[in-house]
Amino acid sequence: MQRKLLLITFVFIFIMGCSLPQVNIAQATDTPIPVTPTDTAPPPLPKPELGQAENPLILALAPASNTQAQIDAAKVIATQFTERTGYVVVTIIPDSYSALVDALENGNAHIVLLAPLPYELAYQQGLVKASFASVQDGKTTYGAQFIASRKGGFKSYFDAATQTNTADASTALAQFADKKPCWSDETSPSGYVLPLGYLNKNQIQTRLAAFVQGHPTVVRSVYAGGICDFGATYIDARKFPSLEDQYPDLMEQVIVVWQIPEIIPYSVLAFSTNIPQPMRDLFSNTVPAIMQTDAGKAAFKTAFEIDELFPVTDADYADLHEYTEAAQLELSTLIK
């Protein structure tokens, strides 16, 4: 009897088990389970104020300024800035002007000395404010000249006796329409960029140019003929030491057709627009004080080859901005 009861109980349990509801495992595991966070990431720490040790101002040497004397001189300038302003200044040496402009954009350079085209690129991108111009032979800027062979039938609109142009650019340069220019190289403000800007501004279309690498070579090419019809150089490349000995009649045969005014800076000391205006003013006012000391003047001479600085603003280079833009060149591809 007991065995019979056990058998009945087993059969009952088996039947009940077969009729239990099935659980959808996939559905159960897909159901999100609310989780109460027990910890949160801390908020990011605020960036230290510019000019503090953790976020110093950066004085950039010119590219290739890698002699120990230049490095030491830059450190002297940085130390003078720190002592006189209370803000920490350190130095860097960029690999190129392109890298220097990138550093300005990324906040990794704040006080810079720029050649004309790097300055123009940084200005166009809103990265710098001009503060001082370097002085050479008593001047802060220089000009350029269009030259041509007298044998080519070109007319000069430049009076050598008074060193002035006798006509406007549109009149003088119109004779270059459909003629072939010789340019120095693509990175030359006076031997390519500004002359091209003047031609474009006056809607003068020329033939495909020849880049002959060097201002004296432009003069030689114009003198020889057959390479180009006209060219552009700094003032006055015809007097380059070896040229007059090589070509005794050069000054007679290669004429200045028209001169571009002195609108090209030798170099510009500028401050990053990332520096707040009051801080820029403080540093700008500190530069002359440093230059008035023997140590500071010597440091600027060694680090940047600067003997004298003259106060300027970006507005002083309005013509440079205008004619560089008229050249319609991608400056970022020319800066090296």
**Contact at 8 Å (CB) between 327 and 232?**
no
Q: Is residue 17 scored above 70 in pLDDT?
A: no
Whole-number Å distance between alpha carbons of 189 and 248: 28
- Whether 141-265 and 57-136+266-334 are alike in CATH topology: the answer is yes
Nearest to 114 by CA among 328, 327, 314, 322: 314
Q: What is the 3-state secondary structure of the chain?
A: CHHHHHHHHHHHHHHHHHCCCCCCHHHHHHCCCCCCCCCCCCCCCCCCCCCECCECEEEECCCCCCCHHHHHHHHHHHHHHHHHHCCCEEEECCCCHHHHHHHHHCCCCCEEEECHHHHHHHHHCCCEEEEEEECECCECEEEEEEEEEHHHCCCCCEECCCCEECCCHHHHHHHHCCCCEEECCCCCHHHHHHHHHHHHHCCCCCCCCEECCCHHHHHHHHHHCCCCCEEEEECCHHHCHHHHHHCCCHHHHEEEEEEEEEEEECCEEEEECCCCHHHHHHHHHHHHHHHCCHHHHHHHHHHHCCCCEEECCHHHHHHHHHHHHHCCCCHHHHCC
Q: Determine the longest span between alpha carbons in the chain, in angstroms.
A: 143
The pLDDT value given to residue 242? 87
Q: Is residue 219 scored above 90 in pLDDT?
A: yes
pTM of the full structure: 0.84
Please indicate whether residue 252 or residue 32 has the higher confidence score (pLDDT). 252
Question: Binning pLDDT at 50, 70 and 90, where does residue 46 land?
Answer: confident
Question: Binning pLDDT at 50, 70 and 90, where does residue 37 land?
Answer: low
Kindly report, residue by residue over 171-206, the tens digit of the pLDDT: 999 999 999 999 999 999 999 999 999 999 999 999
Q: Identify the burial level of 33 via C-beta atoms within 10 angstroms of its C-beta, where 0-12 means exposed, 13-18 middle and 19 or more buried.
A: exposed
Q: Is the CATH number 3.30.420.40 carried by domain 57-136+266-334? A: no
Written out in words, the top-level CATH class of the domain with range 141-265 is: alpha beta
The pLDDT value given to residue 20? 42
**Contact at 8 Å (CB) between 180 and 152?**
no
Kindly report, residue by residue over 261-299, the tens digit of the pLDDT: 999 999 999 999 999 999 999 999 999 999 999 999 999
Question: Binning pLDDT at 50, 70 and 90, where does residue 245 land?
Answer: confident
**Contact at 8 Å (CB) between 268 and 132?**
yes
Mean pLDDT across the chain: 90
Q: Is residue 19 scored above 60 in pLDDT?
A: no
What are the tokens at 34?
């609310």
Q: Indicate the domain borders of the chain.
A: 57-136+266-334, 141-265
Q: At a CB cut-off of 8 Å and minimum separation 6, what does 78 contact?
A: 59, 89, 90, 91
> How many other C-beta atoms can be found within 10 angstroms of the C-beta atom of residue 281?
13
**Contact at 8 Å (CB) between 176 and 100?**
no
Whole-number Å distance between alpha carbons of 70 and 32: 65
Sign of the torsion angle spanned by Cα atoms 162, 234, 193, 253? positive
Question: Binning pLDDT at 50, 70 and 90, where does residue 41 land?
Answer: low
Question: Binning pLDDT at 50, 70 and 90, where does residue 44 land?
Answer: low
Whole-number Å distance between alpha carbons of 153 and 132: 43
The pLDDT value given to residue 39? 55
CA-CA distances (angstroms) from residue 101 to 180, 271, 286? 33, 12, 24
The pLDDT value given to residue 164? 97
Kindly report, residue by residue over 123-173, the tens digit of the pLDDT: 999 999 999 999 999 999 999 999 999 999 999 999 999 999 999 999 999
